[in-house]
Amino acid sequence: MIMESKRKKESPSSAGSTQFPDEVLERVLAFLTSHKDRSSVSLVCKDWYNAERWSRTHVFIGNCYSVSPEILARRFPNIRSVTLKGKPRFSDFNLVPQNWGADIHAWLVPFADKYPFLEELRLKRMTVSDESLEYLAANFQNFKVLSLLSCDGFSTDGLAAIATHSKNLTELDIQENGVEDRSGSWLSCFPESFTSLEVLNFASMSAEVNFDALERLVCRCKSLKVLKVNKSISLEQLQKLLTRAPQLVELGTGSFSQELTTRQYAELESAFNNCKNIHTLSGLWEATALYLPVLYPACANLTFLNLSYTALQGGDLAKLLVHCPRLQRLWVLDTVEDKGLEAVGSYCPLLEELRVFPADPFDEEIIHGVTEEGFVAVSFGCRRLHYVLYFCRQMTNAAVATIVQNCPDFTHFRLCIMNPGQPDYLTNEPMDEAFGAVVKTCTKLQRLSVSGLLTDLTFEYIGKYAKNLETLSVAFAGSSGRGMECVLGGCPKLRKLEIRDCPFGNEALLSGLEKYESMRSLWMSACNVTMNGCRQLARKMPRLNVEVMKEDGSDDSQADKVYVYRTVAGPRRDAPPSVLTL
């Protein structure tokens, strides 16, 4: 359709006008949802730029400091849905000072003015205060969707305000945040007249909620599709909820270890049996082999199983997976060990994504978990595998080579060998060849996290072969700054580069001068970059923000943590004293 309209434009008519009425063009463009497509459209010509900006209703901002709400509102007058990401990803690992910023309030106030009909707000790694949540509830009458992932700064009081005032709410999704859980009474704030909820996720909150209020809420919200409760909900209570909402498509259970009578067990099994639409299952805290069988009837159509909060043994996982032939995504703890992963390879041929989290990441003395063998076993059985996050304590180059030979379609390869700088444990060589195999074989690779003992050779490989790479995470790796230069020079689609504890200095930093403008951001911490190097970068590239976070007791000349990102909004005005903008 777009090709047609383009051709019409090129027909011999007066230079300035288009034969294609704007309204029609806007209607056509409304079908475009992908940001990349819309970006391309807006670059065609001025008419298309305008049609696109008037018809855009959803905007995705990967770095909240790359643009200001004023600039956004000027370009896009009809936004109904905003997705915003704030802090650098390494804030998940406590590498970012607490008051760093990314406060949503600075956006909410202009939004109340320019987008009073805003319906959806999806935030990741932003600071959200109770005041902001109250402001949101009070100023946006059409508000429908609130999704907070890895955010901090709010308490259950803020959620109470949302529950009380957002009459049109369809989605409340609170995930993995630093929420101050004062009490569970927020849930009781949904008025009895409120029936529009479709998604409710409070799994990551700890305070007990009023079960009666929850049950009534579930009962009257007939369109509820997603329900993820927290640990305070028992099996008995879960059974009641399932009976009220057999239409659920995604379920997050509460605690899975109550002592049940035979009758209660049967009732629970029956409840699961009636839930024929469940395709996503999570929660399952403290689940033991004893009660997992109640899930079996609901597993036939399961495509995503999240067991990452369940310390399951391999044998029990195997028994469960026999019932999940359609599984596409699986998250587990490494308590399942290689034996469990062998079962994955055997029973889940359609698997596309596997994440194995460490149960004991900080205990060096206990040697268990998964090894290279488990990963290899999965690769033989699951040829469609394209997304892996794998925490392990040992790996070999040969194993990785086999894995990517079996599964050449990797788009996301995140391998974390937990002991920094650890070589191939069989040959004692660096892990260069492993990642070399990954980038040579997996031409569709978009995201890569490397680990283990790595020399510059790894980065030479990445620069030479990883032509679709967009995100690269590096820690404790490389022999010299040349590694970083290879990557910056060789990966045309690179958008995010995060580096910690590598011997990359100013030369490496400055080798990417123009590159950084085509990237979303660069993070470098505990490397060899100095303040002077950063100042040079800032001076030469005025459209980048170069921010340095100093640590106590470090040299004045050292740039301990550096965060560089492109922006049209100029330097930040809300940086705390610990963040220096150069």
Partner 1 sequence: MEKQGLELEITELRLGLPGGGDNKINEKKRVFSDISADEANATNDDRKIHTKSQVVGWPPVCSYRKKNSFNEKDRLETSKMYVKVSMDGAPFLRKIDLGMHKGYSDLAMALEKLFGCFGISEALKDADSSEFSPIYEDRDGDWMLAGDVPWEMFIESCKRLRIMK
Residue choice 95, 160, 162, 226 for contact with partner 1 (CB under 8 A): 95
Pairing, β 250-252 against β 226-228: parallel
Could you tell me the smallest distance in angstroms from the CB atom of residue 418 to partner 1?
Answer: 5
Residue choice 48, 65, 76, 90 for contact with partner 1 (CB under 8 A): 90
| Distant-in-sequence, close-in-space partners of 227: CB < 8 Å, separation ≥ 6 | 200, 201, 218, 241, 245, 248, 250, 251, 252
Are 59 and 79 in contact by the 8 Å Cβ rule? The answer is yes
Window 149-168: contact mask with partner 1 (x via CB under 8 A) = -x----x-------------
Whose Cβ is closer to partner 1: residue 50's or residue 99's? 99
Report the site for partner 1 in 45-84 (rule: CB under 8 A). none
Q: Taking CB under 8 A as the rule, does residue 571 contact partner 1?
A: no
| Distant-in-sequence, close-in-space partners of 363: CB < 8 Å, separation ≥ 6 | none
Find the part of the chain contacting partner 1 (CB under 8 A) among 29-37, 61-69, 379-387, 532-540: 532-540
Among 376, 385, 501, 498, residue whose Cα is nearest residue 449? 498
Residue choice 507, 571, 575, 581 for contact with partner 1 (CB under 8 A): 507
Output the six-digit token pair for 368. Answer: 């268990």
CA-to-CA distance for 549 and 536, rounded, in angstroms? 17
Q: Taking CB under 8 A as the rule, does residue 336 contact partner 1?
A: no
Could you say which DSSP state residue 184 is in? B
185-193, Cβ contacts within 8 angstroms, sequence gap of 24 or more: 185/156, 185/160, 185/209, 185/210, 186/156, 186/157, 186/159, 186/160, 187/163, 187/213, 187/214, 187/217, 188/213, 189/160, 189/161, 189/163, 189/164, 190/163, 190/164, 190/217, 191/164, 191/167, 192/216, 192/220
CA-to-CA distance for 126 and 181, rounded, in angstroms? 18
Find the part of the chain contacting partner 1 (CB under 8 A) among 101-109, 233-241, 323-331, 504-512: 504-512
CA-to-CA distance for 293 and 322, rounded, in angstroms? 11
Find the part of the chain contacting partner 1 (CB under 8 A) among 32-40, 159-167, 468-476, 564-572: 468-476
Report the site for partner 1 in 294-333 (rule: CB under 8 A). 308-311
Interhelix angle for 397-406 vs 432-441, to 10°? 10
Are 414 and 390 in contact by the 8 Å Cβ rule? The answer is yes
Report the site for partner 1 in 405-464 (rule: CB under 8 A). 416, 418, 420-421
Q: Is the dihedral of CA 237, 238, 241, 242 positive or negative?
A: negative
- One-letter amino acid for residue 41 of the chain: V
Whose Cβ is closer to partner 1: residue 240's or residue 355's? 355
- Establish how many alpha carbons lie within 13 A of residue 216's alpha carbon, considering only the half-sphere containing its beta carbon: 13
Residue choice 40, 50, 139, 558 for contact with partner 1 (CB under 8 A): 558
Report the site for partner 1 in 188-247 (rule: CB under 8 A). 204
Could you tell me the smallest distance in angstroms from the CB atom of residue 537 to partner 1?
Answer: 11
Residue choice 23, 259, 363, 574 for contact with partner 1 (CB under 8 A): 363
Please provide the size of the chain in residues.
582
CA-to-CA distance for 328 and 443, rounded, in angstroms? 22
| Distant-in-sequence, close-in-space partners of 103: CB < 8 Å, separation ≥ 6 | 126, 127, 128, 129, 132, 153, 574
Whose Cβ is closer to partner 1: residue 48's or residue 285's? 285
Could you tell me the smallest distance in angstroms from the CB atom of residue 94 to partner 1?
Answer: 4
Find the part of the chain contacting partner 1 (CB under 8 A) among 232-240, 241-249, 298-306, 475-483: 475-483
Phi, psi of 390 (to 5 degrees): -135, 115
Could you tell me the smallest distance in angstroms from the CB atom of residue 417 to partner 1?
Answer: 9
Strand partners, 83: 60, 122
Beta carbons within 10 angstroms of residue 569's beta carbon: 17
Q: Taking CB under 8 A as the rule, does residue 285 contact partner 1?
A: yes
Are 306 and 332 in contact by the 8 Å Cβ rule? The answer is no
Find the part of the chain contacting partner 1 (CB under 8 A) among 40-48, 64-72, 139-147, 170-178: 170-178
Among 42, 66, 40, 198, residue whose Cα is nearest residue 120? 198
Could you tell me the smallest distance in angstroms from the CB atom of residue 358 to partner 1?
Answer: 6
Are 549 and 96 in contact by the 8 Å Cβ rule? The answer is yes
Could you tell me the smallest distance in angstroms from the CB atom of residue 162 to partner 1?
Answer: 19
Q: Taking CB under 8 A as the rule, does residue 517 contact partner 1?
A: no
Q: Taking CB under 8 A as the rule, does residue 359 contact partner 1?
A: yes
Find the part of the chain contacting partner 1 (CB under 8 A) among 59-67, 91-99, 207-215, 394-402: 91-99
Whose Cβ is closer to partner 1: residue 445's or residue 475's? 475
Q: Taking CB under 8 A as the rule, does residue 360 contact partner 1?
A: yes
Whose Cβ is closer to partner 1: residue 204's or residue 545's? 204
Could you tell me the smallest distance in angstroms from the CB atom of residue 520 to partner 1?
Answer: 19
Find the part of the chain contacting partner 1 (CB under 8 A) among 17-25, 116-124, 374-382, 496-504: 496-504
Residue choice 62, 178, 293, 408 for contact with partner 1 (CB under 8 A): 178
Residue choice 107, 357, 375, 435 for contact with partner 1 (CB under 8 A): 357
Q: Taking CB under 8 A as the rule, does residue 34 contact partner 1?
A: no
Find the part of the chain contacting partner 1 (CB under 8 A) among 65-73, 257-265, 469-477, 563-571: 469-477
Largest CA distance in the chain: 82
Tokens 């998604």: give the residue: 199
- Establish how many alpha carbons lie within 13 A of residue 378's alpha carbon, considering only the half-sphere containing its beta carbon: 32
Could you tell me the smallest distance in angstroms from the CB atom of residue 90 to partner 1?
Answer: 7
Residue choice 60, 426, 554, 570 for contact with partner 1 (CB under 8 A): 554
Residue choice 253, 379, 506, 545 for contact with partner 1 (CB under 8 A): 506
Strand partners, 393: none
Find the part of the chain contacting partner 1 (CB under 8 A) among 31-39, 267-275, 354-362, 380-388: 354-362
- The contact set with partner 1 (CB under 8 A) reads 90, 92-99, 150, 155, 176-178, 180-181, 204, 285-286, 308-311, 357-365, 391, 416, 418, 420-421, 473, 475-476, 481, 500-501, 503, 505-507, 510, 526-528, 530, 532-533, 536, 552-558, 578
